[in-house]
A and B are shown apart, each in its own frame.
Chain A
Amino acid sequence: NAGVTQTPKFQVLKTGQSMTLQCAQDMNHEYMSWYRQDPGMGLRLIHYSVGAGITDQGEVPNGYNVSRSTTEDFPLRLLSAAPSQTSVYFCASSSHLAGGRIGETQYFGPGTRLLVL
């Protein structure tokens, strides 16, 4: 199993450009999520999905869109990049417990480092 994979590893964008960060997992996990990591602020939840076709907002969703057409993939779209979106982005997945709760172990991808000029 490859686990959770992310592409690209590093990206430079100009303000106003759009792009999609890719995330895929091969563990048949229902729950997937996107975090951004900024110095001194830990990891902040952007969006999450509890299964194909179901997404919801996290703590800092503005400027980002997501969709979940398959169990395996959960892309994150930046609609119009801004310097404030310069960050390291992590995708994570976990199994889905009964009653709608997310599984206990979150598996993180290797991260995408994004620089917006």
Chain B
Amino acid sequence: GENVEQHPSTLSVQEGDSAVIKCTYSDSASNYFPWYKQELGKRPQLIIDIRSNVGEKKDQRIAVTLNKTAKHFSLHITETQPEDSAVYFCAARTPYKLSFGAGTTVTVRA
């Protein structure tokens, strides 16, 4: 089955700096890569996604890149703000299943 690895497990950044989270996947059949944000005690919420036929996608301060050849994809958050503090999960979708990375706890220091 699909195996998604996510790094780093924790990330502390100064407010205004950028944050980058990286994921790798193993199944070349995976064709959709969403990113979820989970605040403490809440459900995961989709923040951005990318399909396998696209290399990069941006939504305001958030961007995702995908390298299909290397089976890598990354989340970039620019100009971080305190409300960006949360756990972020990457995921990879095969036709019937969504496999998640272990998560990255992001802390934005004021």
Residues of A within 8 A of B (CB): 33, 35, 40-45, 48, 50, 56, 58-59, 90, 99-102, 104-106, 108-111
Q: How far is the CA of A105 from the CA of B97 in the complex (A)?
A: 12
B43 contacts A59, C-beta separation under 8 Å: no
Q: Mark B20-58, 1 if CB is under 8 A from A, else 0.
A: 000000000000101000000011111001000000000
Q: Which residues of A contact B96 (CB under 8 A)?
A: 48, 50, 56, 100-102
Given known pairs A42-B103, A59-B1, the reply for A102 and B43 (CB within 8 Å) is: no
The reply to whether B98 and A106 form a contact with Cβ atoms under 8 Å apart is yes
Q: In the complex, what residues of A have CB within 8 A of residue B95's CB?
A: 99-102
**Inter-subunit contact A42/B34 (CB<8 Å):** no
Quote the shortest CB–CB distance from B49 to chain A (angstroms). 6
Name the B residues within 8 Å of A104 (CB-CB).
32, 34, 49, 93
Instruction: Give chain B's interface residue range (CB within 8 Å of chain A).
Output: 20 to 34
Is the pair B102, A40 in contact by a Cβ cutoff of 8 Å?
yes
A97 to B104 CA separation, bound complex (whole angstroms): 30
Given contacts A42-B100, A109-B43, list 4 more A-B pairs with CB under 8 A. A42-B103, A44-B100, A48-B97, A106-B98
Q: Which residues of B contact A102 (CB under 8 A)?
A: 93, 95-98
- Determine the distance from Cα of A101 to Cα of B32 in the docked complex, in whole angstroms: 11
CB nearest neighbor in B for A35: B100
Taking a contact as CB atoms under 8 Å apart, the answer to whether A105 and B43 are in contact is no
> Is B44 a contact of A59 with CB atoms below 8 Å?
no
**Complex: chain B residue closest to A108, CB-CB:** B43
